[in-house]
Amino acid sequence: MQERRDRTFVHPRRLAAIALAMVGVFVLLGVRLWDLQVVNGGHYRELAEQNRIVRVPVTADRGVIYDRSGRLLARNDPGFAVSIIPVDLPRSRADEIASRLAVFVERGSDAILKAIADQRARNPYEPVKISVRPLPRETALLLVERAELYPGVRVTAEALRSYVDGPLYAPVLGYVGPIDEEELADRKGGGYLLQDIIGKTGLEWEYEQYLRGTLGWREVERDASLRELRTLALIPPRPGNDLVLTIDDKLQKLLDAELEKGVREDKFTQAVGIAMNPQNGEILAMVSIPAYDNNAFIQGVSSAQMNAWNSDDRHPLVNKAIGDIYPPGSAFKVVTGLSALSTGVATRNTVVNVSSNVLVVDGWKFYDWRVHGPLDFVNGFAHSSDIYFYTLGGGNPYSGQRGAGPEALSKYGKMLGFGAPTGIDLPGEASGIMPDPLWKLATFDEPWTLGNTYHESIGQGFVAVTPLQLLNAYASVANGGTVYKPHLLKEVRSDGKPVVVPQPQVARKLDMKQEDLRLIRESARRVVTIGHAYMPDAKLPIAGKTGTAEFGQSSGVDSAGRQKLGFHNWFVSFLPKQDNTDPTAEIAMVIFTFDSSRSLCDVCFNPAVAMTQHILESYYGVADKKASAP
């Protein structure tokens, strides 16, 4: 088209240039769109899904723990946890949020920031829990109601472990706590998340695999303000299985009440009581005093409290039934006796004439607690004559009788379970010491002496045992020669139905003659019948062996301010069903009292004896109401 001269205001080339520029720009936009939508569309579609959907772990309820008759010992109470999804938390606000949350979760804001930064590096789409312990409802509500102030912060329900009887079962149950880096690394791939809860000690640790359950996942669609709109998919968590223990709560409480009473009345400062079924190794009760309140670990233990427990010389955090070792005293004479009988150096008719209360060998004096006169095996055991058992263990230069010797003592001692963990289903079990000449040479670089043998024969010197080892040894005698692995787990239940029922495990059979074991049982009954273990008006045919040991310091006071006496008492007992000579005992019990006062009354030397009688008679419902009335 030809332009008219007078239309100079139209500049066709400029209009064309603009048109060209417009086409060019739209082509450019189109190319960019093609790149975004067609070339890289898949990538962005993934991102859009990721935006929209977040995978949130759903923790499983931890299994609860019952005693053998179904009484609840550990349960879950409702509480709240606070976690952060790093991808939802603007970096610029992290400082501010951390310092505000620090007040609620009682943690340093630095620690919170580090947790967030670590999780950002690990997987920013997954929440990291920043509350160490469950929060009360009011705090949780505060966070939820002002959600817009806390971007990326999630508040979820979290069960709060609760131990019904606190210190009574703390040594057995242990406690749970937040998983630490090391535990997390050990369980890589085990479905554990940072800041998860894990069993720290006791049965909570031992049976973590059953109690924990399986983590579930929830896929949640969210909008940009992180409100959760709906659940797209739910892999439900499998709650943990419940444990049923062999513990009998009734017996546990009887035992605990007696021992606590003894401490209150200043008869002793620490105590252990264990009861088991000698026919299968089931632990019926296990009390360790003083203990700690395991609920404290759920709420968080202050460092002052932790220091106090750690520096307490009564070791409240240790389950003294298995974790501390003590000299067994005369209760160890079962080893000396069985060694002598099994090696043939003694029979039930072996007589030692204890005409003096001291045996002098090479100028060293070995005392008995009194002059007994002539004693056979049953009476030597029943009266707990030290010289009788010196003779059985190391021989007697005056009468020329041979003893079993330290190697035999060690052999049969180990056979009865001393010097090695019993294998009970609890962490932290001590081995104890079952010495022999080689052990002394290796440990002290000194040769064994006859004096060592004498001391060992009456449970003094190097030998050291856990209360459980001593109980298990007597239990094997009481059941006719089977050493069981003691155990606390009766069954594992899922929805009330047993899924795992552990069978009694035999550690070993005693390579001993039945008549020798029968002789020990007969002698142990004699301990009670002759009144050495004084049980007035006894209702039950209890058999047992006392032990008294001097150990540790006998001056000063302990952490509770009680006098240290360095003097401990034992009573290991078993209760036959009918005749005490038959291997039919259905309960065996050991009571150990630490720093006992020596003379409580004229006849009852040993507080453990009276407590044993009272506990067993109460347990079987035959206690004399009048006599036991306070």
Q: How far is the CB of 87 from another protein (least distance, A)?
A: 8
Q: How many helices (H) and strands (E) does the chain have?
A: 22, 23
Phi, psi (degrees; rounded to nearest 5) at 158: -140, 125
Shortest Å, Cβ 24 to another protein: 11
Please say which residue, 92 or 578, places its beta carbon nearer to another protein. Answer: 92
Minimum CB distance to another protein, residue 116 (Å): 12
Secondary structure string (H, E, C) spanning 548-606: EEECCCCCCECCCCCECCCEEEEEEEEECCCCCCCCCCCEEEEEEEECCCCCCCCCCCC
| Shortest Å distance, C-beta 85 to another protein | 12
Q: Which is nearer to another protein, 95 or 186 (CB)?
A: 95
- How many CB atoms neighbour CB 253 within 10 A? 14
Q: Please state, in angstroms and rounded to a whole number, the distance separating the CA atoms of residues 454 and 403.
A: 10
- The nearest distance, CB 144 to another protein, in angstroms, is 19
Nearest distance, CB of residue 147 and another protein, angstroms: 14
* Least distance in angstroms from the C-beta of 13 to another protein: 10
Q: How far is the CB of 128 from another protein (least distance, A)?
A: 16
Min separation Cβ 37 and another protein, Å: 4
CA atoms within 13 A on the CB side of 303: 0
198: β partners = 177
Query: Which residues, 6 or more positions from 442, have their beta carbon under 8 angstroms from its beta carbon?
Result: none
Written as one string, the DSSP assignment of 223-269 is -TT--EEEEEEEEPPBPPPEEEES--HHHHHHHHHHHHHHHHTTS-S
The smaller minimum CB distance to another protein, of residues 100 and 562, is found at: 100
How many C-beta neighbours within 10 Å does residue 15 have?
10
Looking at residue 536, the DSSP 8-state letter turns out to be T
| Comparison of 1 and 304: residue with beta carbon closer to another protein | 1
Cβ nearer to another protein, comparing 28 with 103: 28
In the complex with another protein, the residue whose CB is nearer, 38 or 603, is 38
> With respect to another protein, which residue has the nearer C-beta, 54 or 488?
54
The distance of closest approach from Cβ of residue 49 to another protein in the complex, given in angstroms and rounded to an integer, is 8
Compare residues 7 and 625 and give the one whose CB is closer to another protein: 7
Kind and range of the H or E run holding 471: helix 467-478
Q: Is the dihedral of CA 546, 552, 556, 562 positive or negative?
A: negative
Cβ closer to another protein: 87 or 433?
A: 87
Instruction: Return the number of the residue (92 or 555) whose C-beta is nearest another protein.
Output: 92
d(CA 621, CA 616): 8
- Listed in sequence order, the residues at least 6 apart from 372 whose beta carbon sits closer than 8 Å to its beta carbon are 354, 379, 380, 383, 385, 387, 388
Q: Between 2 and 311, name the residue whose CB sits nearer to another protein.
A: 2
**Which residues sit at the interface with another protein, rule CB under 8 A?**
1-2, 4, 7, 9-12, 14-15, 18-19, 22-23, 25-26, 28-30, 32-34, 36-38, 40-45, 47-48, 51-52, 89-93, 221-225, 229
Beta carbon of residue 54, minimum distance to another protein (angstroms, whole number): 12
| C-alpha closest to that of 474 among 275, 254, 249 | 275
| Inter-residue contact 159 to 105 (CB < 8 Å) | no
Least Å distance between CB 240 and another protein? 35
β-strand 197-201 against 175-178: which pairing, if any? antiparallel
Rounded Cα distance, 486 and 507, in Å = 9
Record the tokens describing residue 211, joined without a space. 């109690």
Identify whether the C-beta of residue 147 lies closer than 8 Å to the C-beta of residue 85.
Answer: no
Q: Which helix (H) or strand (E) holds 356?
A: none
Q: By C-beta, is 11 or 370 nearer to another protein?
A: 11
Would you give the DSSP letter of residue 420?
S
